Amino acid sequence: MNENNNDSRRDFVKTAAVAAAALAVKEVGFPAIAKAASPIALPALPWADNALEPFISKNTIGFHYGKHHKTYVDNLNGLIAGKPEADMDLVAIVKSSAGRADKTAIFNNAAQIWNHTFYWNSLRPKGDAKMPPAIAGMVEASFAGGLDGFKKEFTDAALGQFGSGWAWLVSDGGKLKVVKTPNAENPLSTSATPLLTLDVWEHAYYLDYQNKRKDYAVAVIDNLLNWDFAAKNLPTV
Ligand code: MN
């Protein structure tokens, strides 16, 4: 075989691989994250884009989901094309790239995809939710002051995260805790199981609240947290 034949065979193999990957598109759904291969898909929002108004506007969702979240998906698919990560599910990509200096871009984009999908599911339109008893009991047992104590601690985490990041309600060692993470980081590589999250990057609130992160945090925590989602994420003992 001469060199030209080798080149065209390589091109054919590459084209076939791309076609196969395109057929393998799957949703990254919640709460069960599909095992999905490359390319990673942008999952649908769990509610209409205006459903969180007046607390989070349709305009914010348009940019936050339609631009920011989508860009992380597009970036990750570009970064992992032809790499081992192209055959891994999103959680495996996040875990295997965490803390790796040579995988920073893959980690940042993969974790931000996971974090945002988790965030959308952590929210629900006001008015159709009661706290499931299982999680209500754990909140009472885990936070001094019960639900009010949780709200204060979660708000403090949201405000105390300097710069961009996330506040999380997690289950760890049979208790609920509040933690915060910078930038794209999340609790997936720790012993804790995430139950709810709040995005405190400026793009999450700047269009609606400008610099007033506290007003955004309080509005979401008081009105939009999806306790059914939190309950579903509780580890089964
Ligand atoms: Mn965000």
DSSP letters of 29-88? -SSSPP---SSBP-PPPSS-TTTTTTTS-HHHHHHIIIIIIHHHHHHHHHHHTTSGGGGS
208-229 average pLDDT score: 97
Q: Has residue 128 been placed in a domain?
A: no
Strand partners, 193: 171
User: pLDDT digit string (tens) for 41-57?
Assistant: 999 999 999 999 999 99
Query: Does residue 107 sit in the same domain as residue 148?
Result: no
Strand partners, 177: 170
**Angstrom distance (rounded) from CA 220 to CA 218:** 6
Residue 82 CA, ligand 1 centroid: distance in Å:
27
- pLDDT range class, residue 14, cuts 50, 70, 90: very low
Query: Does residue 93 sit in the same domain as residue 139?
Result: no
Residue 166 CA, ligand 1 centroid: distance in Å:
9
Q: Has residue 209 been placed in a domain?
A: yes
Q: Model-level pTM? A: 0.84
User: pLDDT digit string (tens) for 174-204?
Assistant: 999 999 999 999 999 999 999 999 999 999 9
Of the three residues 79, 101, 122, the one that is the final residue of a domain is 122
**What is the number of structural domains in the chain?**
2
Residue 65 CA, ligand 1 centroid: distance in Å:
8
**Angstrom distance (rounded) from CA 107 to CA 110:** 5
Residue 43 CA, ligand 1 centroid: distance in Å:
15
Is a pLDDT exceeding 70 seen at residue 16? no
Within 10 Å of residue 110's Cβ, how many Cβ atoms? 30
Residue 110 CA, ligand 1 centroid: distance in Å:
13
Query: Does residue 96 sit in the same domain as residue 203?
Result: no
- pLDDT range class, residue 128, cuts 50, 70, 90: low
Q: Which domain holds residue 111?
A: 3-122
Of the three residues 122, 143, 169, the one that is the final residue of a domain is 122
